Each structure stands twice: as structure tokens, then as C-alpha cells.
């Protein structure tokens, strides 16, 4: 099914089979959590964006959530002060529900502060790695030699430990890959204190993770991903499918602006990909969701998304065409009108457009309709690679 417009065509796919994002679990101590950065994102936010720019559709996972996340994906499992043995103790409970494809493991810094703990660390690391591989049999690990320290006593322990980190990876080649983070940072320039990176140091860590991951991930299925948060990752969604009016605070859906929406529980798309969904509700002065994407004038962009009719019912005005129709488009170009088929199932759509500016607003709107619009998820805008 397609509907022509002046600039593009909305296409409904016959089969709703969106690719599953690659699930990546950043795991470790305060260096993973992002200690020393204003929004506590450390290397993670920049890594997320860099992998998007390479064309990878990824989903950070983990039971911990950033409390302040300006954009990107708030999920991780970094815990300040944690040591190898403590993180190992919670692996059976924490990891299986997140179903990671990859674990980015940088752990051991807190074990380096006394000789006894440092001496025990290599054996504890081997136990931790084997535990991860056991409880998550489809998971691979990118295992990092830990970053250096300004403290000479700590550094002597770190040097001995990092030699064993490489050995742990080599002993488990195939499922465990080694990244030499020890030589990525220079203590005098890249640390904010004895052990934590400053902003420049975290930036170097992001680039190192990116360069190691890029050749290991599946080949991208298109050009750069332009939407920072395509799967509506957020720490504020309610559970159990309960309706909740999210208001206008931008932190509810990092990188998205809420112009009067309702949010619903996770996994509504039914694919196990961690997607959340947004149902648009027309209220006074509001009507949709929008995000800003970086574009190149004259370069074609393909926007792919999933939608289904809203299911709140007549009590919320979700009846008839108002519950099945909305517009989608890049500001500055005529929008396309989307009518979601009856039946209640998710459908995948896409449309192409050619932005005329460097920054473009991607918007989904009820376009003056009253009541509810369809539910939307998995909004991936890619710059065309051809």
C-alpha cells in the first residue's frame, strides 16, 4: 500500500519483520557508570552515537538507568565502587533478563588498591568471565585491560593484572575478545583524579570501544542512523501496560520532544527487542512527538517506523479514523499521511525524503485530529547509503 505526496511515498511493508538491534551491555564499576561527567554517561553516550554514525542499530541494555540522560540510551550495568567478586555474585540475576549480544567489560580498578586484592583479581576475573559465558550462552565479551592510574602503587598492580586480562581473553578466544584500554589513555592528560577519566579520557575510551566493536558487529543494513533514540529507550515508562500521561518533560524519552503524548509499558512491539511505544493523544496545545536529526542538504533520508491502532478505547477518544491516522515527515517538506490498517497488529512503514537543511525536525503529529492517534515505535531514520 502506498500514498503519493509531493516529496515522498509512504510504503507499508507486507511483513512486519524489523531487524533486532544489537544488544550491548556496558558492564563495570564507576568508570562504566560515568563518574566525573555531569550527566553520568562517561564513554557510553558518545559510543552510542559513534556506532549509529557507522550505521549500526544498537540497544544498550542493563538493569541500571541513568538518572540524567540528555539523549541516547540510559541502560547499563556500571556500579561505583564494585569489585570483581561483587559483580560476579550478581551475574546470574542481572544478565539473563537483558539478553546481551555483547558485554563491554572493564572491571578490576577497585581491586587494585591493596596487594592482597590485586593478587586475587586475575583468578576472580576468570571466574567472572566464565560465569557470564555460562549464564548467557549466546553472548560474547569485549574484555578490556583496565585504564592506567596516576598512583604509582596502583599502577604496579594494574600492570600485573592487565597481563592476566589479555591471557583470560586469549584462553577463551572466539567468545572473548581483548581490547588494550591500558594504552589508550595517558594519565597526565586523560584522568581527572587518580583513576577516573576526564572528558577527554572518556572520549578516547569511546573511540577505542568503537574501533574494536565495529568489525565484530553485523554489517550495517544501511547508512548512518540519524535518530539518537530510535526505540524510545527510557527509564520512566510504567510497567504492566498501564496508560500514563508523560506531559512535556524531554527527559521522559531522551532526544525526543513530547508534544502531548501517552507512554505505555515496554515490549509492546512483541519482538523482544526492548522497544517502548508512544501513543499520541490530542490535547490542548499538543499533539505529537518530534526529534532533531543531523542531515545533509540534498542527501536522501529513509525513515522506517512501526505503528498500530491505538487500543485505549472510546473512553479516551480512540475510535474510528482518529485512532488510525497521523502524519509523519521532516519539517520544511510536505508531510505524508499514514493510515494504520484495522486489526490491531504492528505494521512496518517507511518513507523517503530529501532534507534541505543541516538540522531537520522529524515529527509525528495528529495534524489537527481530536482524540488518539496510533501507537508508534522503532523510528529509525537513516541517511541513504547509495
> How far is the C-alpha of 181 from the C-alpha of 378, rounded, in Å?
33
8 with 96, same domain: the answer is: no
Q: Where is the domain boundary, 179, 213, 247?
A: 213
Q: Is residue 119 part of a domain?
A: yes
> What pLDDT is attached to residue 72?
74
- Low-confidence stretches of the chain (pLDDT < 50) are 1-6, 237-250, 265-268
Q: Is residue 219 part of a domain?
A: no
> What pLDDT is attached to residue 63?
87
3-state secondary structure at position 293: strand
> How far is the C-alpha of 225 from the C-alpha of 57, rounded, in Å?
7
Q: For the domain that residue 278 is a member of, what is the CATH number? A: 2.60.120.260
How would DSSP label each residue in 20-37? PPEEEEEEESHHHHTTTS
Per-residue b or e along 298-333, where b marks 16 or more CB atoms closer than 10 Å to that residue's CB: eebbbbbbbbbbbbbeeebbbeeebbbbbbbbbeeb
DSSP β-bridge partners for residue 197:
191
> What pLDDT is attached to residue 232?
83
> What pLDDT is attached to residue 274?
66
> What pLDDT is attached to residue 316?
62
299 with 191, same domain: the answer is: no
> What pLDDT is attached to residue 245?
44
Q: Where is the domain boundary, 213, 241, 276?
A: 213
> How far is the C-alpha of 109 from the C-alpha of 141, rounded, in Å?
18
Number of structural domains in the chain = 2
Query: Rounded to two decimals, what is the model's pTM?
Result: 0.89
Spatial CA neighbour of 23 closest among 105, 132, 99, 119: 99
Amino acid at each position: 500500500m502506498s500514498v503519493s505526496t509531493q516529496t515522498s511515498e509512504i510504503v507499508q511493508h507486507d511483513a512486519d519483520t524489523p531487524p533486532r538491534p544489537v544488544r550491548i551491555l556496558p558492564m563495570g564499576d564507576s568508570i562504566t557508570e560515568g563518574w566525573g561527567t555531569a550527566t553520568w554517561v562517561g564513554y557510553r553516550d558518545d559510543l552510542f552515537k559513534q556506532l549509529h554514525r557507522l550505521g549500526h542499530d544498537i540497544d544498550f541494555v542493563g538493569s541500571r538507568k541513568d538518572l540524567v540522560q540528555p539523549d541516547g540510551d540510559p541502560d547499563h550495568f556500571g556500579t561505583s565502587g564494585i569489585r570483581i567478586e561483587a559483580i560476579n555474585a550478581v551475574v546470574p540475576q542481572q544478565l539473563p533478563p537483558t539478553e546481551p549480544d555483547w558485554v563491554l567489560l572493564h572491571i578490576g580498578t577497585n581491586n587494585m588498591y591493596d596487594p592482597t586484592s590485586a593478587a586475587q583479581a586475575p583468578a576472580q576475573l576468570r571466574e567472572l568471565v566464565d560465569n557470564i559465558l555460562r549464564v548467557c550462552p549466546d553472548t560474547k565479551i569485549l574484555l578490556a585491560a583496565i585504564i592506567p592510574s596516576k598512583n604509582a602503587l596502583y599502577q604496579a598492580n594494574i600492570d600485573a593484572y592487565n597481563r592476566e586480562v589479555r591471557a583470560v581473553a586469549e584462553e577463551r578466544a572466539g567468545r572473548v575478545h581483548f581490547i588494550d584500554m591500558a594504552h589508550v589513555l595517558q594519565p597526565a592528560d586523560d584522568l581527572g583524579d587518580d583513576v577516573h577519566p576526564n572528558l577527554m579520557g572518556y572520549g578516547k575510551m569511546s573511540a577505542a570501544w568503537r574501533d574494536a566493536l565495529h568489525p565484530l558487529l553485523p554489517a550495517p543494513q544501511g547508512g548512518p542512523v540519524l535518530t539518537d533514540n530510535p526505540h524510545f529507550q527510557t527509564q520512566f515508562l510504567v510497567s504492566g501496560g498501564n496508560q500514563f500521561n508523560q506531559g512535556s518533560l524531554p527527559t521522559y524519552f531522551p532526544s525526543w520532544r513530547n508534544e502531548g503524548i501517552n507512554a505505555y509499558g515496554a515490549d509492546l512491539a512483541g519482538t523482544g527487542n526492548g522497544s517502548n511505544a508512544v501513543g499520541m493523544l490530542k490535547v490542548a496545545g499538543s499533539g505529537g512527538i518530534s526529534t532533531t536529526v543531523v542531515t545533509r542538504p540534498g542527501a536522501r533520508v529513509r525513515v522506517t517506523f512501526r505503528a498500530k491502532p491505538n487500543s485505549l478505547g472510546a473512553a479516551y477518544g480512540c475510535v474510528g479514523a482518529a485512532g488510525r491516522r497521523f502524519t509523519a515527515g521532516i519539517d520544511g517538506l510536505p508531510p505524508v499521511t499514514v493510515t494504520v490498517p484495522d486489526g490491531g497488529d504492528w505494521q512496518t512503514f517507511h518513507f523517503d525524503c530529501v532534507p534541505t537543511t543541516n538540522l531537520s525536525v522529524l515529527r509525528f503529529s495528529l495534524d489537527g485530529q481530536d482524540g488518539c492517534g496510533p501507537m508508534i515505535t522503532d523510528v529509525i531514520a537513516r541517511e541513504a547509503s547509495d
